[in-house]
């Protein structure tokens, strides 16, 4: 989640109030911010991605002023009508179809504000832009440009300019190959016949979106007027980013001037702060929070969250400010009412309904198995279901089973899901070479098996595995255990047949059968397998398919 650093003195100026650390922490928590660090000079907060308007100190202060009741209701933003335009060429449709823009006039920049804007831009690229895929933002020094602008798409060798971070002219193709940002974001335009380009009326390049801006338009503390361009693939997202940026620049002291965007077939003006009127029912708010608030209390809470509210009978009409791009539903205002009241002021209550609890059948089966195994003197262990083919098959000297295979594991340790329990037990014994012997362990756990008959194409199956590892471990010991376990599971009519396969020693292992279905196996582990796991102690082991033994009688498949 994104993190923002805010200087305290800057925050006090924006807030027009000073707080001590306890008040500050409590305020930030009430705004749904997680406090990472707090020092004499600054604080660091983590904010949730639904609130990209928290990407600047201005945005946080704006919300804080509401909660502290320094300023209630929706902030007013005046939009100045457009004086210029961006003409959009049809060629961009194939590569990056949308653009929105705005002009900010009479802004006073300094190094601190420029840094805030850069960091905000980066966060918006991530949160709204999905790393520039959906949205890419450019802030330009308007004073060196000559509007109107043209948003077009050109061939890679057609244009060249000096990109930020370079000292020489580079063609678009060259930027993609050699420039740091070009290399990083080339995948967003690669393979397209033409690349997007933003030009002014003299043909000066502003930017090669979504890759890099021209050095020409770089912001510096002397810049008075800013041109913002935002390009991308999702017009909603573009407007969200533009609203957040322009309202923030407004709150920094700038005047917002709209820009006309002219397509061959249509025209619109941005930014457009035409706000949606939301209908919020008082009884809906009350029933969801579990309170009996009066109309005025709800209105007050909403105003503290910086919403504009009009009241008509038992319905509130709420106008949320243009930067609140997270509002999707009436329910979003319910949370804001709760935040306006303060979560700590909500008295916990209990549901009235009476229900009766119960454990899942599998849990009860597990519990019985646990009782049996603990009674037999085995210690319980727990392993991951994630594993790899080396542990699952190679070390056990068996051929691969049908298994579930991961597409994108972050580590080579986990590439598949386990299909049996014994390798997990071997791993545990291997981890315990320096623990005292005898070691008797068991695990009740699931394996996952591919199964075409269910929508998820795989099922989980409960298994019981146990291993006895000491100098006298033998087949007869594990056979006695198997007999005792099955007897206690109330299963008779089972039989055993020879099983001369790894991981067991030939002539010292058996398959366990119930009504002609194999329900498990047991035996002395082959010395080569023990060596593969670096276990220098004789080991006998047993694995039972609990699903086939008892679970199956349930209708449920998991």
Considering only residues 430 through 469, tell me which ones interact with other proteins, judged by CB under 8 A: 431-432, 435-436, 439-441, 446, 448, 450, 452, 454-460
Q: How many residues does the chain have?
A: 558
Given 167, 191, 203, 407, the residue binding other proteins (CB under 8 A): 407
According to the binding rule CB under 8 A, does residue 383 interact with other proteins?
A: yes
Binding-residue total with other proteins (CB under 8 A):
91
Distance of closest approach, residue 253 Cβ to other proteins, in angstroms: 30
Given 58, 223, 381, 525, the residue binding other proteins (CB under 8 A): 381
By beta-carbon proximity to other proteins, the closer residue of 176 and 425 is 425
Distance of closest approach, residue 361 Cβ to other proteins, in angstroms: 9
By beta-carbon proximity to other proteins, the closer residue of 319 and 494 is 319
According to the binding rule CB under 8 A, does residue 332 interact with other proteins?
A: yes
**Burial level of 544, CB count in 10 A (0-12/13-18/19+)?**
buried
CA–CA distance, 90 with 11 (Å, rounded to integer): 45
What 8-state DSSP symbol labels residue 142? G
Residue 305: CA atoms inside 13 Å, Cβ hemisphere, count? 27
What 8-state DSSP symbol labels residue 392? I
Structure token digits, residue 531: 């060596």
According to the binding rule CB under 8 A, does residue 379 interact with other proteins?
A: yes
Distance of closest approach, residue 216 Cβ to other proteins, in angstroms: 33
Residue 271: name the closest of 337, 314, 227 by CA: 227
Distance of closest approach, residue 195 Cβ to other proteins, in angstroms: 23
According to the binding rule CB under 8 A, does residue 292 interact with other proteins?
A: no
According to the binding rule CB under 8 A, does residue 22 interact with other proteins?
A: no
By beta-carbon proximity to other proteins, the closer residue of 88 and 426 is 426
Residue 385: name the closest of 345, 415, 348, 429 by CA: 415
Distance of closest approach, residue 310 Cβ to other proteins, in angstroms: 19
Of 355-374, which residues contact other proteins (CB under 8 A)? Answer: 355-360, 362-363, 367, 370, 374
CA–CA distance, 420 with 398 (Å, rounded to integer): 12
Phi and psi, residue 187, nearest 5°:
-60, -20
By beta-carbon proximity to other proteins, the closer residue of 167 and 356 is 356
What 8-state DSSP symbol labels residue 547? H
Given 408, 412, 515, 553, the residue binding other proteins (CB under 8 A): 408
Distance of closest approach, residue 131 Cβ to other proteins, in angstroms: 9
According to the binding rule CB under 8 A, does residue 471 interact with other proteins?
A: no
According to the binding rule CB under 8 A, does residue 275 interact with other proteins?
A: no
| Only segment of 10-18, 179-187, 409-417, 537-545 that touches other proteins (CB under 8 A) | 409-417
According to the binding rule CB under 8 A, does residue 50 interact with other proteins?
A: yes
Distance of closest approach, residue 276 Cβ to other proteins, in angstroms: 8
By beta-carbon proximity to other proteins, the closer residue of 193 and 377 is 377
| Residue 434 contacts residue 488 (beta carbons within 8 Å) | no
CA–CA distance, 301 with 318 (Å, rounded to integer): 12
According to the binding rule CB under 8 A, does residue 114 interact with other proteins?
A: no
Distance of closest approach, residue 49 Cβ to other proteins, in angstroms: 7
Chain-centroid distance of CA 328 in Å reads 19
**CA distances for 536 relative to 43, 434, 487, 493, 501, angstroms:** 56, 11, 32, 36, 21
Render the burial of 100-130: b for 16+ CB within 10 Å, e for the rest: bbbbbeebebeeebbebbebbbebbbebbbe
Distance of closest approach, residue 291 Cβ to other proteins, in angstroms: 7
Distance of closest approach, residue 364 Cβ to other proteins, in angstroms: 10
Given 411, 412, 471, 553, the residue binding other proteins (CB under 8 A): 411
By beta-carbon proximity to other proteins, the closer residue of 152 and 239 is 239
Of 181-210, which residues contact other proteins (CB under 8 A)? Answer: none
Residue 511: name the closest of 490, 494, 492 by CA: 494
Distance of closest approach, residue 181 Cβ to other proteins, in angstroms: 21
Q: Give 487's contacts (C-beta < 8 A, 6+ positions apart).
A: none
Q: What is the 3-state secondary structure (H, E, C) of 176-214?
A: HHHCHHHHHHHHHCCCCCCEEEEEECCCCEEEECCCEEE
Question: What angle (nearest 5°) sits at the alpha carbon of residue 320, between those of residues 316 and 325?
Answer: 135
Quick note: the x/- pattern for other proteins over 134-173, rule CB under 8 A, is x---------------------------------------
CA–CA distance, 228 with 103 (Å, rounded to integer): 6
According to the binding rule CB under 8 A, does residue 555 interact with other proteins?
A: no
By beta-carbon proximity to other proteins, the closer residue of 25 and 114 is 25
Of 243-272, which residues contact other proteins (CB under 8 A)? Answer: none
According to the binding rule CB under 8 A, does residue 38 interact with other proteins?
A: no
CA–CA distance, 363 with 543 (Å, rounded to integer): 19
CA–CA distance, 374 with 422 (Å, rounded to integer): 18
By beta-carbon proximity to other proteins, the closer residue of 166 and 392 is 392
**CA distances for 529 relative to 386, 427, 440, 534, 545, angstroms:** 21, 11, 18, 8, 22
**CA distances for 523 relative to 141, 214, 225, 378, 467, angstroms:** 78, 73, 82, 17, 10
By beta-carbon proximity to other proteins, the closer residue of 30 and 270 is 30
| Only segment of 72-80, 241-249, 354-362, 484-492 that touches other proteins (CB under 8 A) | 354-362
Given 259, 338, 510, 522, the residue binding other proteins (CB under 8 A): 338
According to the binding rule CB under 8 A, does residue 346 interact with other proteins?
A: yes
Q: Which residues pair with 150 in a beta bridge?
A: 87, 199
């Amino acid at each position: 989640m994104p993190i923002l650093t805010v200087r305290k003195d800057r925050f006090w100026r924006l807030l027009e109030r000073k707080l001590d650390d306890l008040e500050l922490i409590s305020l930030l928590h009430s705004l749904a911010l997680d406090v990472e660090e707090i020092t004499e000079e600054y604080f660091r907060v983590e904010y949730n991605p639904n609130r990209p308007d928290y990407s600047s100190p201005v945005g946080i202060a704006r919300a804080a002023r509401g909660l502290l009741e320094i300023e209630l209701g929706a902030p007013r933003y005046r939009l100045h009508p457009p004086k210029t335009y961006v003409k959009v060429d049809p060629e961009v449709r194939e590569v990056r179809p949308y653009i929105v823009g705005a002009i900010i006039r009479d802004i006073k920049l300094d190094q601190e504000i420029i840094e805030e804007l850069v960091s905000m831009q980066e966060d918006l690229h991530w949160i709204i832009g999905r790393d520039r895929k959906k949205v890419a933002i450019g802030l330009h020094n308007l004073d060196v440009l000559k509007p109107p602008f043209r948003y077009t798409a050109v061939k890679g060798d057609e244009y060249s300019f000096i990109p930020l971070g370079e000292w020489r002219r580079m063609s678009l193709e060259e930027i993609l190959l050699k420039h740091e940002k070009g290399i990083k974001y080339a995948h967003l335009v690669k393979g397209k016949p033409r690349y997007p380009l933003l030009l002014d009326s003299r043909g000066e390049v502003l930017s090669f979106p979504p890759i890099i801006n021209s050095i020409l338009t770089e912001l510096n503390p002397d810049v008075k007027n800013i041109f913002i361009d935002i390009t991308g693939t999702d017009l909603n997202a573009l407007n969200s980013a533009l609203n957040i940026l322009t309202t923030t620049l407004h709150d920094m002291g700038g005047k917002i001037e709209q820009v006309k965007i002219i397509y061959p077939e249509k025209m619109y003006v941005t930014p457009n702060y035409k706000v949606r009127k939301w209908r919020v029912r008082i009884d809906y708010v009350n029933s969801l929070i579990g309170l009996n608030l009066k109309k005025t209390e709800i209105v007050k809470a909403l105003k503290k969250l910086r919403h504009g509210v009009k009241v008509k009978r038992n319905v509130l009409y709420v106008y949320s400010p243009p930067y609140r791009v997270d509002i999707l539903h009436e329910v979003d205002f319910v949370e804001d009412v709760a935040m306006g009241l303060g979560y700590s002021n909500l008295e916990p209550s209990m549901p009235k309904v009476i229900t009766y609890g119960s454990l899942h059948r599998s849990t009860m089966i597990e519990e019985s198995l646990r009782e049996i195994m603990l009674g037999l003197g085995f210690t319980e262990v727990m392993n991951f279901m994630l594993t790899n083919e080396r542990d699952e098959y190679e070390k056990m000297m068996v051929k691969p089973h049908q298994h579930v295979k991961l597409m994108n594991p972050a580590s080579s340790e986990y590439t598949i899901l386990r299909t049996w329990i014994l390798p997990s037990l071997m791993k545990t014994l291997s981890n315990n070479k320096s623990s005292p012997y005898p070691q008797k362990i068991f695990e009740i756990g699931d394996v996952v098996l591919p199964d075409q008959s269910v929508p998820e194409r795989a099922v989980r199956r409960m298994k019981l595995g146990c291993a006895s590892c000491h100098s006298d471990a033998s087949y007869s010991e594990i056979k006695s255990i198997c007999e005792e376990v099955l007897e206690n599971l109330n299963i008779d009519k089972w039989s055993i047949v020879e099983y001369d396969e790894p991981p067991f020693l030939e002539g010292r292992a058996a398959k366990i059968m119930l009504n002609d279905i194999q329900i498990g196996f047991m035996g002395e582990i082959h010395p080569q397998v023990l060596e593969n796991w670096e276990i220098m102690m004789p080991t006998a082991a047993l694995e039972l398919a609990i699903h086939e033994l008892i679970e199956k009688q349930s209708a449920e498949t998991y």
